[in-house]
Structure 1
Amino acid sequence: MKQTPKGTDHGGETLNEIPIVDWLDLEHDREKLLRDIEYALSECGFMVLANAPGLDDDFQQRAFKEVRAFFDSSPDVKQSVEISQSPYFRGYSDRKLKDIGHGQIIETFQYSFEQPPVSAHDDESFPLHDRLMKGPNIWPEPDELPGFRPIIEKLCDTYHSLTHMLGELIVESLGEDSAEFRRYFDFDDPNLAASLNHNHSLSAFPEESRARVRADYAKFDSSNVGTHIDGPPFVALLINDRPGLQVVAGEGRWINAPVTCRTADGDYPVPVIPGSVIVNTGGTLMHLSEGRYSATLHRANTTLIPEGETRVSMPYFLLPKTEGDLVPFGKSSATRGNASGYDVGRDRGANACVNRMGTFPQVTRRWWQKEFDALREKAKSEVESETNAAFEFAAKRGERYKNRTT
């Protein structure tokens, strides 16, 4: 059943929720769709895309059922696809011990497109990003979870097609030629990092840790709860089945994101918009638009997950080509010192690789320690620069909203 979302009020004085953009407007009112995209990504950096093609409620229900079945499976099944088996950062990771210090107890499953390796992982005659990001997935045995691989491969294909269609519309909403998107994204040769995340509620924490976690999330600017921007991608796409995602928007405060698929009974403390997908601006788009669309700080808030329950989210990060500079839309060459905090001289492929290496140290220790040691300090400074730019853009948005009320 198609949803008829409440329209976005572009004249409001405050931004209390993530703006909704209706995909059906593409057929009925294209100009409205472009205006709504422009408003959402310039004023919030996030949007809820309602009636997302291929992501109707029936499909999402099936996807969440299969993903939950994987995370509920036996330790033996999950360990059979443990992520450090492969240099390509694919498979299962139990990050409970690592992330308890960041206010999260989380398990993940990493996947991408099935691609043959370009070389041996340590053959330095090939670029690092090709050696690390191109390779096969690791899947549970079909007799254990027969529906898992098919639904995730379908989700991957759906996300991929939508990212390309939406990416061109986003470029058009900036007043630029939509062909600019295709300069940086090759549909047939993608660079992808995608994840299935299983976050546990506060009740899974040791009792002595819960008060500290609550206190950290109660602070606006706590550095202890995984607040971040998505640096490498153009945009990120995400479906989720429980509350938890929060975004810095409006007057510079946390607002709660909706749920895209109801998989539990009872009331949800956030809106539920079935058949939708949450879209946010990444650092690549922040740079290409010269800050017109800025990456927005966000986090997964453990304290919003209902007690005794868990939250599943399925984020998708399509990365740009790694060759050449990222030249902002409408410009003939890249310039340094731009507003987005982006270093145009960076090795984009290496930067994306270091992002993966830092997130999954068990893989790095086995396969990539030398490369990580050589690159991590430079990558850290680049992340800090872009994050600081995102903070500045958020502050400017906050000032705009305050001025509307004075």
Structure 2
Amino acid sequence: MSFSSIPILDLSLARSPETKPQLLADLRHALLEVGFLYIENTGIPPDLVAEVIRLGKAFFDLPEEKKLEVEMKNAKSFLGYNKLGMEITRFKTDWREQIDLSTPHPIPGPNDPLYRNLLAPNLWPDPNALPRFREVYEEYMARMGDMSMEFTSLIAEAIGLPSDAFAQFFDEAQQHKLKIVKYPDLEELGVEGEAQGVGPHKDSMLTSYLLQASHHRGLQVQNAEGQWVDCPPIDGTFVVAIGQGMEALTQGVCQSTTHRVQSPARGTGARFSIPFFQGVSYDATFESMDVPASVKKLRSDILERRGGVRLDDIEFTFIKGAWSRLGEATLMNRIKSHPDVGERWYPEQLKKIREDQAEEAAKFAAKEAASSQTTASSVPAQPQAIQAH
């Protein structure tokens, strides 16, 4: 049987040799069985978190012209503001408004690989319009970066690896990214029924850390039986998602899990969330690590118990051999998710993506049509592969 709730781990237990073994055991269970978890007592100051939430919401209250001063399509880096409905997941529009930020980096040189355009300075909103925004978010990203590195070390220990096992995949000045997201409710969208805040996907790198910045439900995680499990806001926690990169590196031991966000119900107001994405070196080649056989057997036993099937499974973004560097795959994924940026800065790559998408969309439509004709007694079809972002 697959999971029906999301586990909560107390990171303060890692600070004592008496309680750390139990934490690592609980973490190993979450990694192998779920791929999603809450963490609490992370060391991130609550006052800082409160300011991050306040200023994040305040950004969306700025006049439209002020937000458009930092519009994403103004830069090659895919950093900046995205208007409502400008991102696509699984061939459908994501009904969210957002700004993407990253830890600071200079503009790349003219002879650098194209994917190094992803390393660039932020497009910060006008400090006169939003005082302290930059200061608060730079501190928050720095602290979250440190915390994510510590948590990755715990992941390594939980699956029988040295605590520094993942260090080889990080740059000395590693870039991490963050989004501030507003999901309007159905009334504001003018939509009846349901709408996609963000479609089913898996995160692409190693780990991500979601701060649910309002009381709304909406985040759902798909278990191995294909059922959607709610992941409601819990004060004082972050939601950790294991990324496709982590699953690839650990030879499938650490499970990356499909998740989605549904738009808030009519009249409930906008949902806000602030996900932080731990970065990985864009020069990495994603060679897998030597996970102990005993841990790999734990994972294979789980799959065998489920009949060898994962109904949440989707295609890895970073298939070994498909790309020479992680940065190449990441850049193509960003172009796919943000075609307006692609049209302005990466027209050749976007043309190739659209050709591939047309073929993929035709296959997807045929599969959806076939699935709709399946009787209720039939085995459910495995979900279509999608691109994480």
Is the CA contact (8 Å cut-off) linking 2:40 and 2:236 kept in structure 1?
Answer: yes
For 2:23 and 2:262, how far apart are their aligned partners in 1? Answer: 30
Is the CA contact (8 Å cut-off) linking 2:219 and 2:261 kept in structure 1?
Answer: yes
Is the CA contact (8 Å cut-off) linking 2:157 and 2:163 kept in structure 1?
Answer: yes
Of residues 221, 231, 239, the one that matches 1:257 is: 231
Q: Residue in 1 aligned with 2:271?
A: 311
1:336-385 deviation digits (Å, cap 9, x = unpaired):
xxx98552222321110111112222221111122333467779999x9x
Of residues 44, 61, 74, the one that matches 2:63 is: 74
Q: Residue in 1 aligned with 2:46?
A: 57
Give the letter aligned to residue 169 of structure 2: Y
Q: Residue in 2 aligned with 1:178?
A: 163
Mark the CA change 1:313 to 1:380 in structure 2 (over 3 Å): closer, same or farther.
Answer: farther
Q: Residue in 1 aligned with 2:15?
A: 27
Of residues 161, 169, 192, the one that matches 1:210 is: 192
SS in 2 for 1:24: helix
Is the CA contact (8 Å cut-off) linking 1:237 and 1:279 kept in structure 2?
Answer: yes
Is the CA contact (8 Å cut-off) linking 1:60 and 1:275 kept in structure 2?
Answer: no
For 1:380 and 1:24, how far apart are their aligned partners in 2? Answer: 49
Q: Residue in 2 aligned with 1:364?
A: 342
For 1:250 and 1:287, how far apart are their aligned partners in 2? Answer: 18
Deviation at 1:225, TM superposition (A): 6.0
| Alignment gaps of 5+ in structure 2 | 293-312, 364-379, 381-389
Is the CA contact (8 Å cut-off) linking 2:213 and 2:274 kept in structure 1?
Answer: no
Q: Residue in 1 aligned with 2:221?
A: 247
| Alignment gaps of 5+ in structure 1 | 1-12, 218-223, 260-271, 333-338, 385-394, 396-406
SS in 2 for 1:226: strand
Is the CA contact (8 Å cut-off) linking 2:86 and 2:93 kept in structure 1?
Answer: no
SS in 1 for 2:166: helix
Is the CA contact (8 Å cut-off) linking 2:86 and 2:338 kept in structure 1?
Answer: no
Give the letter aligned to residue 143 of structure 2: T
Q: Residue in 2 aligned with 1:296?
A: 257
Mark the CA change 1:203 to 1:306 in structure 2 (over 3 Å): closer, same or farther.
Answer: closer
Of residues 162, 171, 180, the one that matches 1:196 is: 180
Mark the CA change 1:181 to 1:197 in structure 2 (over 3 Å): closer, same or farther.
Answer: same
Give the letter aligned to residue 319 of structure 2: D
Deviation at 1:147, TM superposition (A): 2.1
Deviation at 1:48, TM superposition (A): 0.2
Q: Residue in 2 aligned with 1:390?
A: none
Deviation at 1:203, TM superposition (A): 1.2
Is the CA contact (8 Å cut-off) linking 2:2 and 2:223 kept in structure 1?
Answer: no
Q: Does 1:153 align with 2:135?
A: no
For 2:352 and 2:343, how far apart are their aligned partners in 1? Answer: 13
Deviation at 1:323, TM superposition (A): 3.0
Q: Does 1:15 align with 2:3?
A: yes
Of all paired residues, the percent bearing the same amino acid is 25
For 1:378 and 1:90, how far apart are their aligned partners in 2? Answer: 25
1:220-275 deviation digits (Å, cap 9, x = unpaired):
xxxx96111112x111111012321110126431111131xxxxxxxxxxxx2x22
For 2:130 and 2:246, how far apart are their aligned partners in 1? Answer: 37
For 2:359 and 2:209, how far apart are their aligned partners in 1? Answer: 26
Q: Residue in 1 aligned with 2:206?
A: 234
Q: Residue in 2 aligned with 1:267?
A: none
For 1:17 and 1:86, how far apart are their aligned partners in 2? Answer: 40
1:117-150 deviation digits (Å, cap 9, x = unpaired):
122xxx4x321221x2111111112111002111
SS in 2 for 1:117: coil
For 1:167 and 1:380, how far apart are their aligned partners in 2? Answer: 38
Q: Does 1:105 align with 2:91?
A: no
1:275-304 deviation digits (Å, cap 9, x = unpaired):
21110110111011111111100001114x
For 1:381 and 1:285, how far apart are their aligned partners in 2? Answer: 29
Give the letter aligned to residue 322 of structure 1: Y
For 2:165 and 2:40, how far apart are their aligned partners in 1? Answer: 25
Q: Residue in 1 aligned with 2:319?
A: 343
Greater alpha carbon shift after TM alignment, 290-299 vs 88-97: 88-97
For 2:113 and 2:279, how far apart are their aligned partners in 1? Answer: 16
Is the CA contact (8 Å cut-off) linking 2:156 and 2:165 kept in structure 1?
Answer: yes
Deviation at 1:185, TM superposition (A): 1.3
Deviation at 1:44, TM superposition (A): 0.8
1:22-62 deviation digits (Å, cap 9, x = unpaired):
011112311111111111121110010011221x4332221
Greater alpha carbon shift after TM alignment, 354-363 vs 90-99: 90-99
Paired residues, what number? Answer: 333
Q: Residue in 2 aligned with 1:129?
A: 115
Mark the CA change 1:378 to 1:22 in structure 2 (over 3 Å): closer, same or farther.
Answer: farther
Is the CA contact (8 Å cut-off) linking 2:141 and 2:176 kept in structure 1?
Answer: no
Is the CA contact (8 Å cut-off) linking 2:222 and 2:259 kept in structure 1?
Answer: yes
